[in-house]
Amino acid sequence: MLKDIIEVVKTKASEFYKKDTDVPNDKAEETAEATGESIFEALKTNILEGDFKGVKDVLSGVKKEDLKDLPIVKKIIERTSKKMQDKGVDKETADKAAEGAVPEALEQVSEKYASEKEEDAHFSLKGLIEKVSQEEGRTELLSAAKEKLGGLGVQLGDFGDKVGDQFEDLSEKVSEQFGDVGEKLEDIGGKIGGALGGLFGKKKKEEE
């Protein structure tokens, strides 16, 4: 996910740093990559803090003019400036360059996450939250997202149901060939399916 975001912003951000800022040309590309890193790190921090709505708002196809005053954007600008300073760029130059580059870079990322094109399918808020939760061992983030984001929670519910169903299907096939061992696996699969379905899944009775 981090590499994907860097690839989205790297080319334009690098050109911006070369043409429209005082950042040395030989530092433009690595500074552009640092911009992508800062975007990902800020999104990740907000997810870990439970600010799913803030992340969703930023990744809903927002234009750069509407991004500048959002709290998360200010954090990204600060992160990007600090990374530039760590690479030897003076603070005044770094602050000014980050203020100009970050909104445009984030607009590119936002458009990707809001895109309905097949080639952009891997850019999804659901996927981002799943990735962060897995990396940090924070599975409760998925249920928290379900509660706060409605439709996203339904998608995560579908994901939980599918994992459980797939495990049960595999267990049934093993059971047919290996008897008792397979039956034990099948029982485990049923419990996993039930747990995941209960945590994330849609309850048909409640819908009725």
- Return the pLDDT at 187: 59
- Domains in the chain: boundaries: 2-132, 150-207
Assessment of whether the complete model's pTM goes beyond 0.85? no
DSSP letter string, 103-164:
HHHHHHHHHHHH---GGGTT--HHHHHHHHHHHHT-THHHHHHHHHHTHHHHHHHHHHHHHH
Percentage of the chain modeled with pLDDT above 90: 39
**Comparing 141 with 9, which gets the higher pLDDT?**
9
- pLDDT band for position 144 (50/70/90)? confident
* Beta carbons of 123 and 4 less than 8 angstroms apart: yes
- Cα gap 150→148, rounded to integer Å: 6
pLDDT in tens, 146-177: 666 665 544 444 444 444 445 455 545 555 55
- pLDDT band for position 188 (50/70/90)? low
- Cα gap 41→140, rounded to integer Å: 20
pLDDT in tens, 39-80: 999 999 988 888 888 888 888 887 888 887 788 899 999 999
pLDDT in tens, 105-135: 999 999 998 888 999 888 888 888 888 887 7
